[in-house]
Amino acid sequence: MSPGDEVFVYHSATQAARFKLNEGDRIEFEVTRGPKRFRAQNVVKP
């Protein structure tokens, strides 16, 4: 990855049942490369 690359977050990648992600929220995640873009995995709020 390079600075400025976008990472797509699928709801299924979150680690909590009622996880709600709002613009500007800080999260922690692992990055994997999907067929078309980078994807976030194991998404949690610190």
DSSP 6-42: -EE--GGGBSSTT----TT---EEEEEE-SSSEEEEE
Question: Using an 8 Å Cβ cutoff, are 39 and 11 in contact?
Answer: no
Identity of the amino acid at 46: P
Nearest to 9 by CA among 34, 17, 18: 34
Domain locations along the chain: 10-44
pTM recorded for the entire structure: 0.67
User: Rounded to the nearest 5 degrees, what angle is found at the Cα of 11, between the Cα atoms of 8 and 15?
Assistant: 110
Provide the residue-wise pLDDT of the chain in tens; the chain has 46 residues.
Answer: 788 888 888 778 787 777 888 888 898 999 998 888 889 898 888 8
